[in-house]
Structure 1
């Protein structure tokens, strides 16, 4: 788990690089948002690790924190971990069409 002193600079001066991904608020009840989290997780894992920071949006080429919409539930670390790998595998499988 990340320490506070590791996270504070990422929040105070946000900028993406190969080890940091910033995402808007994600609703892990939706497949699209699960897929976004899964893809970000895979990219960071392929690079050797890093951080996914939730709750930021790019405004005029600057990453800024945004308030969590009231209809989006809080994201716990456990929820994010449990959703990412499983959904990544599912999102890369071709969908079957037809009956058999």
Structure 2
């Protein structure tokens, strides 16, 4: 069994920009199905990429808002893992920690998404439909991976 070292969540705050291993989300309404499905898609793509960080409460340009968005102020590990278990298979077990960036008056949730290992993570169920019937967030049978730039690459399951 490999030795696991404690995660250093503060390192996620040191990244100045988003990258293949790091995703910033200013706000994400996790009290509704669309927000949950969008987060599941991010988790899926990071797990299939080899793992990475999601920093909630941070702008795409790396800055922070004046106050923590209300919809992420009480995010916890159980909530994140329940979202992953609902929408993904196999479900990666994420770790969540509240971290306070230097010079900022509030802590932000930082999510560590582990690598999926040998079994790629796939959408287990569709996110909710919009008013035109299009699936939002994650789609059943799709493997998402990170790609350089603001794009996802999606592969539909052949089965």
Scaled by the length of structure 2, what TM-score is found? 0.47
Deviation at 1:6, TM superposition (A): 2.2
Residue 76 of structure 1 pairs with residue 81 of structure 2: no
C-alpha change, 1:24 and 1:89, in structure 2 (3 Å) is farther
Q: How many residues align?
A: 87
Larger proportion of strand? 2
Query: What is the distance in 1 between the residues matched to 2:69 and 2:26?
Result: 10
Structure 1 SS opposite 2:55:
strand
Residue 90 of structure 1 pairs with residue 125 of structure 2: yes
Q: Deviations over 1:46-98 (max 9, x none)?
A: 1110001101223xxx232122334x25111221122124134222249xxxx
Unaligned runs of 5+ residues in structure 2 are 1-5, 88-122, 127-138, 142-159
Cα RMSD after superposing both structures: 2.2
- Residue 63 of structure 2 corresponds to 64
What CA distance in whole angstroms lies between the structure 1 residues aligned with 2:38 and 2:58?
14
Q: Which has the higher helix share?
A: 1
